[in-house]
Chains A and B, each alone.
Chain A
Amino acid sequence: MRTKRRLSPISIIIHIIMYALALFWLYPYIWMVLASLKPTDKIMTTPFFQGPFSFTNYSFLLHTSKTMNFSFLMALANSIFIAVVATVVVVISSAIVGYGLAKFEFKGKKFILGYIVFQMVFPSFMFIIPQFILMRNLHLINTYSGIILVYLMSAMWCYMCYQNFKSTPSEYIEAARIDGATELWIVFRLMMPLNRTIMSIIAIFTFAGVWNDFLWPMVVMQNYGKMPLAVLLSNFNMQYGVYLGPVMAGSVILALPIVIGFIILRKYFLEGWAVSLK
């Protein structure tokens, strides 16, 4: 029989405090969304939920800002393009490398595993300058490739794939080979579907990471037409910070896709944090 437990007074207080704090934590987001819907001169002067709400700021970003050399629609497309390409390539390359490490024996494998772990030790900021020099030597400054190339493979995700693929029974692979499957078929149609969770985690974290990345694309890209959203918005904020309404609208466009993705895919985010911290 189920007994209904009543909440003690302390428990009620904790509930109230936590709900209040949760709203307090959401407050910057709510303020951002509401501010993006108000005209610039009303944002700082009207109370929270009051004000003539409209989509003027968004249409400003779509139309007017173009005449100021800031095409937000283009930046949005750039961000999507860069993040999608990086995500697809990272998922595929991590799976292939992970499969090669997990299911084959060859000389030097131990050394390669050590080398992969060794790469994960370095903080990413160390590589900004030498990687910029690399892109410069390859004449890739101000190109999409210049931004994307450094995202395409990740030591950490290769290692994660290796660890996860190890536990997939080799009998499946043998059976597929007897049926005449190629190794790539095994990677795409066997290993990836059987390890759906880790593959989803890799995809989601790569997409979000590239979408939110700021310093690297800012260093490589000075061409306003090819900038991803984060960089263009930062530039716009620096030059036209007085256009508060459009700045907030830009922030909404930048932040909201990942936030909504997070709420929908929260299971994978939580699992991803759990595996990446081990």
Chain B
Amino acid sequence: MFKKNFNAREARKGFSMVSIFLIYSLIFFVYPLVWMIILMFSKWNFISTPKFAGFYNIQTVLSSEIFWITILNTLRFMVFYIPIVLIASFLFALMLRRIKYGKTFIALSFLVAQVCSGVAYSIIFSKLLSPIGPINIFLNTHFHFTVPWFTSPNMAMFTIALIVTWKFVGYYGIIFYSGMNSISNSLYEAADLDGASKKRQFFGITLPLLNAQVVLVLVLSITLAFGLFTETFIITGGGPLSSTMTPMLVMYNAAFQQLQPTYAATMAVFVALISAGIVKVTKKIIERDVTIV
């Protein structure tokens, strides 16, 4: 009897502690989620009460040109960003393993980019790579050409991919680095005895055993691509010619400049779905259950 009472009191105590989270999430998670669904199916511009509009918003988003432009731009970003950042961070990890002196300094130099404020690094790069910025002045005086980093529609998204790479190489590189460190040396010794070349060892041992890390970096990259905002907002504002218009920029403009929160919310749902879909497909293609026999 006493035991049961005691347990009930325990349970109440525990639940009351957890309930602060439940109450908080009711206000800041469930309520917004409900609003999200309301917004998707209604007509509303921040004033008066929302009116039911059926599938009007979904139709508007899916038939609006700008929505597809942003999705296409995101895919373009990924086509530039993912191969560059994957190869660069892999090389970073491989080379960091060979460093004997000053490993901490090198790792920190790369990682310090990761913690940089998005606003600050966007401003720095917009000045560094501006038509009259130091990089272009250097190129002009030594090689007699300049690069239209952010001013050419063909170039701008590529440059954004480059500066995001600057930010994330150290981070992804450390993920690969710690993955490589957990691979047992005996595997390589055995491969050496069998006469396998370094290249064979890389593709036969290192790469397959880093499958989990590769998948992780891909998922992080895809999520990042669909959430791209600060860089494009500050540096290009979506231009030139909408070439760096990202979903987040359009959602921001729609909701807070054009006062169309219903359009923006509906778009957010579709962008999240597309992002999740691409993550799922990528996992299905790349993910392997790696076991060492």
- Tell me which residues from 159 to 176 in chain B have a Cβ below 8 Å from any Cβ of chain A: 166, 169-171, 174-175
Contact between chains at B112 and A26 (CB < 8 Å): yes
Q: CB-CB < 8 A to A105: which residues of B? A: 7, 10-11, 14
CA distance A247 to B234 in the complex (A): 13
Q: CB-CB < 8 A to A25: which residues of B? A: 109-110, 112-113, 166, 169-170
- Tell me which residues from 90 to 105 in chain A have a Cβ below 8 Å from any Cβ of chain B: 93, 96-97, 99-101, 103-105
Q: CB-CB < 8 A to B226: which residues of A? A: 123, 125
Contact between chains at B20 and A104 (CB < 8 Å): no
- Tell me which residues from 1 to 50 in chain A have a Cβ below 8 Å from any Cβ of chain B: 5, 7, 10-11, 14-15, 17-19, 21-23, 25-26, 28-29, 31-32, 35, 43-44, 48
Question: Which of B24-32, B78-86, B183-191, B283-291 sits within the interface?
Answer: B24-32
Closest beta carbon of chain B to A274's beta carbon, Å: 7
- Please report the number of residue pairs spanning A and B whose Cβ atoms sit closer than 8 angstroms: 243
CA distance A48 to B22 in the complex (A): 54
Q: CB-CB < 8 A to B125: which residues of A? A: 28
Q: CB-CB < 8 A to B233: which residues of A? A: 234
Q: Is the CB of B157 closer than 8 A to any CB of chain A?
A: no
Q: CB-CB < 8 A to A231: which residues of B? A: 119
Contact between chains at A133 and B124 (CB < 8 Å): no
Q: Is the CB of B35 closer than 8 A to any CB of chain A?
A: yes
Q: CB-CB < 8 A to B210: which residues of A? A: none
Q: Is the CB of A259 closer than 8 A to any CB of chain B?
A: yes
Contact between chains at B119 and A230 (CB < 8 Å): yes
Chain B residue with the shortest CB-CB distance to A253: B120
Contact between chains at A129 and B120 (CB < 8 Å): no
Q: CB-CB < 8 A to B21: which residues of A? A: 93, 97, 112, 116, 153, 155, 158
CA distance A25 to B279 in the complex (A): 29
CA distance A269 to B111 in the complex (A): 10
CA distance A219 to B253 in the complex (A): 11
Q: Assuming A25-B166, A93-B20, A149-B28, is B251 touching A129 (CB within 8 A)? A: yes
CA distance A7 to B126 in the complex (A): 40
Q: CB-CB < 8 A to A129: which residues of B? A: 36, 39, 251, 255, 261, 264-265, 268
Closest beta carbon of chain A to B127's beta carbon, Å: 7
Q: Is the CB of A126 closer than 8 A to any CB of chain B?
A: yes
Residue B13 contacts which of A101, A104, A251, A255 (CB distance < 8 angstroms)? A104
Q: CB-CB < 8 A to B169: which residues of A? A: 25
Contact between chains at A97 and B105 (CB < 8 Å): no
B: number of interface residues (CB 8 Å):
84
Chain B residue with the shortest CB-CB distance to A35: B127
Contact between chains at A29 and B112 (CB < 8 Å): yes
- Tell me which residues from 103 to 146 in chain B have a Cβ below 8 Å from any Cβ of chain A: 105-106, 108-113, 115-121, 123-125, 127-128, 132-134, 137
Q: Is the CB of A84 closer than 8 A to any CB of chain B?
A: no
Q: Is the CB of A107 closer than 8 A to any CB of chain B?
A: yes
Q: CB-CB < 8 A to B234: which residues of A? A: 234, 237
Contact between chains at A258 and B115 (CB < 8 Å): yes
Contact between chains at B28 and A255 (CB < 8 Å): no
Question: Which of B55-63, B66-74, B93-101, B199-207 sits within the interface?
Answer: B93-101
A: number of interface residues (CB 8 Å):
88
Q: Is the CB of B18 closer than 8 A to any CB of chain A?
A: yes
Among B102, B112, B175, residue most surrounded by chain A Cβ atoms (within 10 Å): B112
Residue B117 contacts which of A93, A132, A255 (CB distance < 8 angstroms)? A255
Contact with B along A209-252 (1 / 0, CB 8 A): 00110110001000000000011011001000000100110011
Q: Is the CB of A134 closer than 8 A to any CB of chain B?
A: yes
Closest beta carbon of chain A to B71's beta carbon, Å: 14
CA distance A166 to B247 in the complex (A): 41
Q: Is the CB of B208 closer than 8 A to any CB of chain A?
A: no
Chain A residue with the shortest CB-CB distance to B263: A129
Contact between chains at B137 and A28 (CB < 8 Å): no
Residue A44 contacts which of B14, B117, B133 (CB distance < 8 angstroms)? B133
CA distance A247 to B120 in the complex (A): 9
Residue A125 contacts which of B27, B117, B227 (CB distance < 8 angstroms)? B227
Among A31, A105, A126, residue most surrounded by chain B Cβ atoms (within 10 Å): A126
- Interface CB pairs A-B, < 8 A, 17: A10-B98, A11-B100, A28-B124, A28-B166, A93-B24, A100-B13, A125-B268, A125-B272, A128-B268, A130-B35, A132-B256, A153-B28, A212-B117, A251-B124, A263-B108, A266-B108, A269-B115
Q: 7 smallest A-B Cβ distances: which pairs? A: A104-B14, A100-B17, A130-B32, A106-B11, A22-B109, A255-B120, A130-B35
A residues engaging B (CB < 8 A)?
A: 5, 7, 10-11, 14-15, 17-19, 21-23, 25-26, 28-29, 31-32, 35, 43-44, 48, 93, 96-97, 99-101, 103-109, 112, 115-116, 119, 122-134, 136, 149-150, 152-153, 155, 158, 183, 208, 211-212, 214-215, 219, 230-231, 233-234, 237, 244, 247-248, 251-252, 254-255, 258-259, 262-263, 266, 269-270, 273-274, 277
Known: A26-B112, A106-B18, A269-B115. 5 other contacts (CB 8 A): A7-B100, A28-B166, A104-B15, A233-B119, A258-B116
